[in-house]
Chains A and B, each alone.
Chain A
Amino acid sequence: EPEVTQTPSHQVTQMGQEVILRCVPISNHLYFYWYRQILGQKVEFLVSFYNNEISEKSEIFDDQFSVERPDGSNFTLKIRSTKLEDSAMYFCASCGTGVDTQYFGPGTRLTVL
């Protein structure tokens, strides 16, 4: 069964460093998302991406964040200068249509020291 994959599973970085989180969505899906879950809190929407552009972003998704689909298969989230409060589990999701089921990857745990 097709699945969404994410790498790395755990990333530790120093405050101020850049990180890139990688996702491989399900191959025939067209809509891509990033969510995050700070420990003990609810899952929050960050950004949605369709037709090679951002379709919606949350207040959390400021200028430090960017997304890219560089090669038609990978979908990346970049944080330019990480802060302590960026420590969270980051989930990638994809779906075939905008209102269909979103399939989630296993997540990347980001720890900022």
Chain B
Amino acid sequence: AQSVTQLGSHVSVSEGALVLLRCNYSSSVPPYLFWYVQYPNQGLQLLLKYTTGATLVKGINGFEAEFKKSETSFHLTKPSAHMSDAAEYFCAVIQGGGAAVNKLTFGGGTRVLVKP
């Protein structure tokens, strides 16, 4: 069974500082990896995803993530935080391997607070 661990349930960053959100996964086959963002009182919006190919993926709003198979990680970064980045971020995995229909398994989420 797959699982996702997000280190840190809350992260506080200053505006303009680096945002780094950590995600580690376990999966018996190569996974597909996702980061979703949830703004207050809204649904989940896809930030970026990794399926195959280039391990550094770029997403919306200046975010990017790197798939590191050896470390089973998919950490999310943004070079310079903006006030509008305050939200909760979820890392999620779908088990690959050719299965036809797959559920998302989510990490516990990391709430980001941006200080002026």
Question: Which chain A residues have a beta carbon within 8 Å of chain B's beta carbons?
Answer: 4, 31, 33, 35, 41-45, 48, 50, 55-56, 58, 91, 93, 98-99, 101-107
Question: Which chain B residues have a beta carbon within 8 Å of chain A's beta carbons?
Answer: 32, 34, 36, 42-46, 49, 51, 90, 92, 94, 96, 99-109
A45 touches B49 (CB 8 A): no
**CB-CB nearest 3 A-B residue pairs:** A98-B101, A45-B103, A104-B44
Q: Contacts A31-B101, A99-B32, A101-B49; is A106 near B90 (CB within 8 Å)?
A: no
Q: Residue on B with the closest CB to A105? A: B43
In the bound complex, residues from chain B placing their C-beta under 8 Å from that of A91 are: 43-44
Picked from B42, B44, B96, B101, the residue with its CB within 8 Å of the CB of A43 is: B44
In the bound complex, residues from chain B placing their C-beta under 8 Å from that of A35 are: 104
- What CA separation (Å) do A79 and B94 show in the bound complex? 26
- What CA separation (Å) do A67 and B47 show in the bound complex? 28
B45 touches A104 (CB 8 A): yes
In the bound complex, residues from chain A placing their C-beta under 8 Å from that of B51 are: 99
In the bound complex, residues from chain A placing their C-beta under 8 Å from that of B101 are: 31, 48, 50, 55-56, 98
Q: Smallest Cβ distance from B22 to chain A, in angstroms?
A: 15
- What CA separation (Å) do A41 and B36 show in the bound complex? 15
24 contacts between A and B (CB under 8 A): A33-B103, A41-B108, A42-B90, A42-B107, A42-B109, A43-B44, A43-B104, A43-B106, A45-B104, A45-B105, A48-B101, A48-B102, A50-B100, A55-B100, A55-B101, A93-B44, A99-B32, A99-B51, A99-B96, A101-B46, A103-B46, A104-B36, A104-B43, A107-B43
